[in-house]
Amino acid sequence: MPPSSDDGPSPRILVLWDIDHTLIETRGVGRAIYERTFKSTFGKKLEQLAKVSGRTELEIMTETLRINVLEPTDETVAELARALISGYEAAKQELGARGRALPGAKKTLALLAEDNRLHQSVLTGNLKDIARIKVEAFGLAQYLNLTTGAYGEDNYNRAELVHRAQERARAVTGAAFANSRTVLIGDTPNDIAAGIAAGVRMIGVASGKSSVAELKEAGSEHVIPDLGQPEKLHDLLIQLTAQTN
């Protein structure tokens, strides 16, 4: 557990991390798992995978089934979800070997975990079990409270995931995280759009396919190029959430 701070043990700032291309890269393993899983589950080749960047897994699975000429019923979506989780479990060692934690990710999470004012969790389009497998594969899970996160099976709407995470964090910590004390950190315009719609603070990280300029254009109030300066990010989090009560 991180040491106590002058503010006491109760956190007052909720930090919600996107995972893919913000903290980690699967470097093609995710696509390979989708292809294997789809074929073994439905007996046909995956001809096309839906766009994945900044979207929830519910959206991705539904569209993928449709464009591969399968009806996206509740049953087929649930079947694909179960198969994907099993596929990631089976490929966890491969994921750790071929993928990577992005530069500075582990150091940043570790530094923020030392400050008891901060409660770190995730807001990701991944299914919860896949999110867990990913952060475990790269040694990041110890810094994140996955119980209080929000995931791709919770809602199609990414902005609604923000509210779900706030509710879960309050239930676990006993602290009420107002929008002004909630910071979403992500690498895509969809992450930024979710933060704007939910009314929370945002930090864009240009570690994925979107540039600093594109994230600023999407409306992010702050954008950093990567996670290479953990101390500066920590200071920015404190400054952002100190601006309002």
Task: Indicate whether 119 and 88 sit together in one domain.
Answer: no
Domain that holds residue 111: 13-25+100-242
Per residue in 102-126, pLDDT (tens digit) is 999 999 999 999 999 999 999 999 9
CA 157 to chain CA centroid, nearest Å: 14
pLDDT (average), residues 74-98? 98
Task: Indicate whether 184 and 227 sit together in one domain.
Answer: yes
Task: Indicate whether 150 and 211 sit together in one domain.
Answer: yes
Residue 6 in any domain: the answer is no
pLDDT of residue 188: 96
Task: Indicate whether 232 and 122 sit together in one domain.
Answer: yes
Task: Indicate whether 235 and 154 sit together in one domain.
Answer: yes
Q: Is the pLDDT confidence value at 234 over 50? A: yes
Task: Indicate whether 63 and 111 sit together in one domain.
Answer: no
Residue 232 in any domain: the answer is yes
The total number of structural domains in the chain stands at 2
Task: Indicate whether 108 and 220 sit together in one domain.
Answer: yes
Q: How many CA atoms lie within 13 A of 234 on its CB side?
A: 18
- Please report the sign of the dihedral spanned by the C-alpha atoms of residue 88, residue 193, residue 215, residue 179: negative
**Which of 45, 75, 97 is the last residue before a domain boundary?**
97
Per residue in 3-16, pLDDT (tens digit) is 333 445 578 999 99
Per residue in 179-208, pLDDT (tens digit) is 999 999 999 999 999 999 999 999 999 999
Task: Indicate whether 148 and 210 sit together in one domain.
Answer: yes
Residue 8 in any domain: the answer is no
Q: How many CA atoms lie within 13 A of 8 on its CB side?
A: 4
Residue 219 in any domain: the answer is yes
**Which of 42, 77, 97 is the last residue before a domain boundary?**
97
Percent of the chain with pLDDT over 70: 95
**Which of 97, 120, 147 is the last residue before a domain boundary?**
97
pLDDT (average), residues 144-162? 95
Q: How confident is the model at residue 232 (pLDDT cuts 50, 70, 90)?
A: very high
Task: Indicate whether 71 and 184 sit together in one domain.
Answer: no
Q: How many CA atoms lie within 13 A of 221 on its CB side?
A: 14
Task: Indicate whether 86 and 110 sit together in one domain.
Answer: no
Task: Indicate whether 130 and 213 sit together in one domain.
Answer: yes
- Cα 165 to Cα 29, 161, 162, 217, 219: the distances in Å are 27, 6, 5, 26, 22
User: What pTM did the predictor assign?
Assistant: 0.93
Task: Indicate whether 83 and 43 sit together in one domain.
Answer: yes
Write the single-letter amino acid at 231. Answer: E
Quote the tokens at residue 35.
Answer: 């292809």
pLDDT of residue 180: 96
Residue 7 in any domain: the answer is no
| Residue 77 neighbours by CB under 8 Å, 6+ apart | 58, 61, 62, 65
Residue 4 in any domain: the answer is no
* Out of 6-10, 62-66, 218-222, least confident range: 6-10
